[in-house]
Amino acid sequence: MKILSDFELSVDPDEVNLHLEKSAASIPPGSNKELLKQIFGLIDLTTLSEQDNIENVSLLCDRVNQQVDAYPDMPSVAAICIYPELVAVVKEKLDNPLISIASVGGGFPASQTFTNIKVMEIEQAIIQGAEEIDIVMPVGKFLIDDLEYVDYEIQVIKQRIGSVHLKVILETGSLKDLSHIRKASLLSIGAGADFIKTSTGKISPGATPEAMVVMCCAIRDYYNRTGKKIGIKPAGGISDTRTALLYYHIVKEILGEEWLNRERFRIGASRLANRILGEYFDQGPDFGYF
């Protein structure tokens, strides 16, 4: 956990507000279809319902497969994100090799189970075909300052999954204070996260622009010191194009053009993909393809 002693952990609210103002001011007026097209290619198309099953996940894969012919001007989404049990369904049904298979894991969404059980679940998901794993930082332990355990658990999981991309969800809506979000960001990065992610989407608030700014600043500071680029993924309640554009410009403002690709920036969403298609093809906000 040496990383926490290497960085300033406090957050300047004025700096956060300045980044938000600059990012909001950068959003072009009216519809920018080319930018929406780029954002579409950064989406982790997500279904994480207790009602998910072979049928609805197979249908989602069919729609993703058909998108190439239905909307050839649009890029593919970056990934499909599902529960571990349904990874095998996506592995079987998904045709496009450019789309990653992402699985939540590790006792998602509460992360309230034993570390060895988390590891077993994640390893099983990878055996079934998962190429990316989204876990939740053990928020309860973080809140009582058991940072050694948080660090240990993320390290163990990353060591066991090796080159598989690990996204660590901070559940920023439960952390409240911006300095806690910065500390959780740096702690997760130091423990081995390839991406840090705002939220599960299971609590309110989910992603917020303020949390996104703080997380991007932590990634920037880590990069400036180490030269290592960590990815960022806002998720939780991102359903309209204006919000997606704001998050895009926050990343551009703080981290720069080098992060504006699917290797470094994802947006976890379900409804957003339809909203972008509806706006891009002038079909209205209720356009429902997926």
- pLDDT at residue 160, as a whole number: 97
pLDDT at residue 191 in the model: 98
Catalytic pick among 118, 158, 183, 233: 233
- Residues whose CB falls within 8 Å of the CB of residue 259, separated by 6 or more in sequence, listed in order: 229, 231, 232, 251, 252, 265
C-alpha 7/C-alpha 13 separation (Å) is 17
Query: Average pLDDT of 239-256?
Result: 97
Dihedral (CA of 61, 67, 68, 73) sign: negative
- Residue 168 Cα to chain centre, angstroms: 8
134 catalytic? Reply is yes
pLDDT of residue 114: 98
Segment 173-193 shows an average pLDDT of 97
pLDDT of residue 116: 98
| Predicted local distance difference test score (pLDDT) of residue 242 | 94
Instruction: For the full predicted model, state whether its pTM sits above 0.95.
Output: yes
Other beta carbons within 10 Å of 268: 30
pLDDT score for 28: 86
- pLDDT per position as a tens digit, 70-102: 999 999 999 999 999 999 999 999 999 999 999
Instruction: Report the pLDDT value the prediction gives residue 188, as an integer from 0 to 100.
Output: 98
Specify whether 202 is catalytic: no
| pLDDT tens digit sequence for 61-70 | 999 999 989 9
What's the confidence (pLDDT) of residue 236? 96
**pLDDT for residue 202:** 96
197 catalytic per annotation: yes
pLDDT higher than threshold 90 for residue 230: yes
Catalytic entry in 134, 151, 183, 194? 134
Pick the closest to residue 74 from 42, 100, 97, 44 (CA basis).
Answer: 42
264 pLDDT more than 80: yes
179 membership: H or E segment, kind and range = helix 178-191
Tell me the per-residue pLDDT of 100-134, one tens digit each, with 9 for 90 and over.
Answer: 999 999 999 999 999 999 999 999 999 999 999 99
Q: Specify the DSSP class assigned to residue 239.
A: -
- Contacts of residue 218, defined as CB under 8 A and 6 or more positions apart, other chains included, come to 7, 182, 185, 186, 189, 196
Report the mean per-residue pLDDT for the chain: 96
Check if CATH label 3.30.160.270 holds for domain 3-280.
no
**For residue 20, how many C-alpha atoms fall within 13 Å in the half-sphere facing its CB?**
15
Which pLDDT band holds residue 45 (cuts at 50, 70, 90)? very high
Model pLDDT, residue 29: 87
| pLDDT, position 94 | 98
